[in-house]
Structures are given as structure tokens and as C-alpha cells.
Amino acid sequence: MKSNNRHSGGPTAALLVLGATGAIGRGVVRAALDAGRPVIAVSPDPDGLRALQGTHAHADLYTLEALMRDEHDAAMLERKLRNLDRPIHGAIVALCSERERGRLLDGSASELRDSIDQGVVAHLALARHLLPLLAQGGRAGGWVIVDGPGGDHPWAGYGHRSVGAAALRMLARVLHEEARPRGVRVQLLALDFPLKTEANAKHACDQWPDARGVGRRAIALLDRVDHAATDPIVHCKGPCKYESQESDGGDASLASRCFEDARRLLGALSPSHKNKNDATHSPSPLSKEDAHDPPTRR
């Protein structure tokens, strides 16, 4: 267990962040601390937790190393949190993990099972053991799951991701109903685009959300100030950018290239287009090379 900023007086209710050292988790922690909220950050990554503490050395941050894979891990985490004897006013779960690209039919059934265990079953185990902590003492806490794209429509090349995301959305809907009697609201914040990070910022499209903006949106759901505060599934359709974040140089050109790629793809799929001023079909504006070559990925 790693901690800093021990409290003199009574314990202050904290925001629980599960998966705090991942790209989204770090953004959630930063958004919460920027808003002056105490945070309990949980992750199985000790180096990541130390880095998180170093980044927020003077913040009201308590870090906790714990695995979050299954029922046993969830029960161990519950005991650790109860031993803290600190109230929790809400939880944000960001267990999103990077997955290798590949066709579902090219992988084994056990690989899909492992993916669902990690991306769905782990969420149920955590909810079973930790939701009672949010309802403890009559508090009406919130439980927000943050998940990436691919759950509503198949994501080409990431079939395992789409299957797991669709199952997680249904799990969130069921938990949303079953947690109501306990006074806890369960929701899933679904990102409609990949996350923009420092690693992919130069190649990301402008509409991709950034982690701190996602964190602010998730916290807004907990505070019931979001416009869709009562829905079990809330889509993050916009860029979710943090207000004070400056855009990287060349954002306009990045957006332009994204739109150009879309136009090239549509042109490649259509042998010709209709000229509004002529009843006959005019040739496609794409060159022969453009018509046959796939659009460049950026």
C-alpha cells in the first residue's frame, strides 16, 4: 500500500478510480484533483502508481496497489478499502486495455474468452464487491464505467474488442437496474472514437477525445450535472477536450486530412458520381491511382 497526505481530523469522502495508471485513468485522476477532490487511485502497476504520486505530490491522493482480474481480486480489494475506513462518494472504472489488431476468426476461442474475462467478467466481480461501499451509510454514490468504441457496431480488425464492448454495455444496463434499490447509479460512458494520447497525438483526428476531458465528463455524471445523467449508457460523441488544453500545431491540417481520407474512400467505393447539372454520369474526380489505392491511414 502506498499513500501520501494523511488526514488530520475525520476522513474525507474520496473518489475511487480503478485502473488509475492507464491512459484514461490518469486523465480521470488529474481532472478530479484539479477540481479539488480527494482520490483513491487503484492499479496493479506499482511503478505507475509511484509516477502518479510524483506528478501529484501535494494533492489529496491515496494510491493502492491491487489486482482487479476476478472474484478473488475483487474481494481482496474490498477488504483493503474497508480497512482504510474512509467513505467513498463515487467510483470511476477505467479498465480499458490495449489490444492487438486481428480478425476474430484468426484467433482461438480461448483468446476471446480471455478478452471477455478481462473486459467484462472483471467488471462484474468489482461491482459485486464494491457497490455496497458506495451505498454504505445511506450515501447515494455513483459508479461510472468508461469504455472505448466498438460496442454498437463492429470495429473492423478488432472483433474481440467489439464483442466484449457490446457485452459490457449490456452488463452496465443490467447493473443500472439492479443497483437502484441500493441507491447507487451505475452508468457506462462510451467513447465513440479512440482516445487521443501523447503517443498518437500527431496522427489522431481532431474529434478524438483526450483523457482529461473524458475524466471531466465522467465526474459530471457522478455529480448528476450531465445532460444525460440518468441514462445507463452515455455516449461521448464530441472531442471531450479539457477547456484549457491548447491544440497541437497542425490541428486544422489533421482534420482536413481526415475528411480527405473519407472522401477518397467514398470515391473509391463509387465507380462514378451523379453530376447535378447533367443527366449523364461524369467520371469520378479521383485519378485511376486514387481509385485503386486505399486511402492513406494517418
Nearest to 294 by CA among 275, 255, 268: 268
**Whole-number Å distance between alpha carbons of 121 and 15:** 23
Q: How high does pLDDT run on average in the chain?
A: 79
Domain count, the chain: 2
- For 3, the enclosing helix (H) or strand (E) is strand 2-3
Q: Does residue 192 sit in the same domain as residue 275?
A: no
- Say yes or no: 9 and 118 in one domain: yes
Which CATH number goes with the domain that contains 71?
A: 3.40.50.720
- 250 in a domain, yes or no? no
Beta-sheet pairing, 273-274 with 281-282: antiparallel
Residue 284 is placed in which grid cell?
A: 469520378
Residue 293 has pLDDT above 70, yes or no: no
Closest CA to 63 of 14, 135, 8: 14
112 and 27 in a common domain: yes
Residues 180, 275, single domain; the answer is no
- Residues 53 and 163 placed together within one structural domain of the fold: yes
The mean-pLDDT minimum among 46-55, 88-97, 193-202, 212-221 falls in: 193-202
Q: 78 lies in a domain? A: yes
Is there a single domain that holds both residue 201 and residue 87?
yes
pLDDT band (50, 70, 90) for residue 186: very high
What per-residue confidence (pLDDT) applies to 151? 83
| 37 inside domain | yes
In a domain, 297, yes or no: no
Range of the domain at 271: 255-292
- Nearest-CA neighbor of 119 among 142, 88, 143, 150? 150
Span 87-105, average pLDDT = 84
Q: How confident is the model at residue 205 (pLDDT cuts 50, 70, 90)?
A: confident
How far is 136 from 78, CA to CA, in rounded Å?
13
Which long-range contacts does 288-294 make (Cβ < 8 Å, 24+ apart)?
290/264, 291/267, 292/268, 293/268, 294/265, 294/268
In this structure, what C-alpha cell is assigned to residue 2? 502506498
Q: Please report whether residue 276 resides in a domain.
A: yes
In a domain, 244, yes or no: no
Do 105 and 167 share a domain, yes or no? Answer: yes
Residue 134 domain flag: yes
User: Is 75 among the domain residues?
Assistant: yes
- Does residue 16 share a domain with residue 132? yes
* pLDDT band for position 120 (cuts 50, 70, 90): very high
Joined grid coordinates for residue 163:
464483442
- Give the per-residue pLDDT at 56: 94
Tens of pLDDT along 129-172? Answer: 999 988 876 566 899 999 988 888 887 788 888 899 999 999 99
pLDDT the model gives residue 277? 46
